[in-house]
């Protein structure tokens, strides 16, 4: 069972702290289990959080700060914030009109394979896009979900991934561009990739999407791919 929360619009740091608190609770339970007879062990709760953030740029622990093309004054003019964080990956943007998903999952209750976990995140988004007539796929060596993925000259990213895993408990997750203001991606080298474009459902379909409708479809596909039920 997975507990779902739609947090609405939330400051990035506040949401990061909330993720960390859920992770800490899960890790405390797993640590306690090591000294507990099997019949008395508890399973950590699993969570899926959906949220929209005010304009923010985040840099993963292996990222290059040079991929942020704004100084402090530029960030202020864009009404954006910037954080160096503890997920994998390089720099990305979060903002209104984007579904950011943070699964806090104990993978020992599912499978212990980070590569498979990443592919499952991508699959849930790909199935959601298919419902809107948008074919998407993967590019070997790159994470995320792509349109025109088989044509390097046309390939464009519609969802980015970056995760952290501690003792098989995940945090951070994915950012799915639905009605995003793509101009904000012009202030970074997204994920450190210089030769690929970024897109959104709104751009591809030529209309704004109902965010609640897309969230509902994505939530359902997430449960379908991971084969769980929501609490």
- For the record, the structure tokens of 219 come out as 């939530």
Q: What share of the chain is helix, strand, coil (3-state, %, to 5)?
A: 35, 30, 35
Length of the chain as a residue count = 231
- For the record, the structure tokens of 133 come out as 């007539």
Whether the CB-CB separation of 104 and 17 falls below 8 Å is answered with no
Pairing of the two strands 46-52 and 98-104: antiparallel
Whether the CB-CB separation of 125 and 135 falls below 8 Å is answered with no
Identify the three-state secondary structure at position 165. Answer: strand
Give the catalytic positions in this structure. 191
């Amino acid at each position: 069972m997975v507990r779902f929360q739609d947090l609405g619009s939330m400051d990035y740091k506040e949401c990061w702290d909330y993720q960390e608190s859920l992770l800490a609770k899960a890790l405390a339970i797993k640590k306690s289990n090591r000294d507990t007879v099997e019949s008395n062990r508890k399973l950590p709760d699993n969570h899926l959080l959906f949220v929209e953030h005010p304009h923010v740029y985040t840099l993963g622990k292996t990222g290059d700060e040079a991929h942020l093309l704004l100084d402090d004054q530029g960030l202020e003019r864009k009404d954006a914030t910037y954080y160096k964080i503890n997920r994998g990956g390089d720099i990305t943007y979060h903002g209104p009109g984007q579904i950011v998903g943070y699964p806090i999952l104990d993978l020992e209750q599912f499978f212990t394979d980070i590569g498979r976990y990443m592919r499952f995140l991508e699959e849930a988004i790909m199935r959601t896009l298919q419902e809107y007539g948008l074919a998407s796929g993967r590019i070997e060596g790159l994470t995320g979900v792509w349109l025109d993925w088989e044509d390097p000259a046309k390939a464009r990213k519609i969802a980015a991934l970056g995760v952290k895993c501690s003792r098989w408990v995940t945090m951070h997750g994915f950012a799915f561009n639905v009605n995003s203001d793509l101009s904000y991606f012009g202030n970074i080298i997204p994920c450190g990739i210089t030769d690929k474009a970024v897109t959104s459902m709104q751009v591809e379909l030529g209309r704004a999407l109902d965010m609640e409708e897309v969230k509902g479809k994505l939530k359902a596909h997430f449960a379908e791919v991971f084969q769980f039920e929501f609490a």
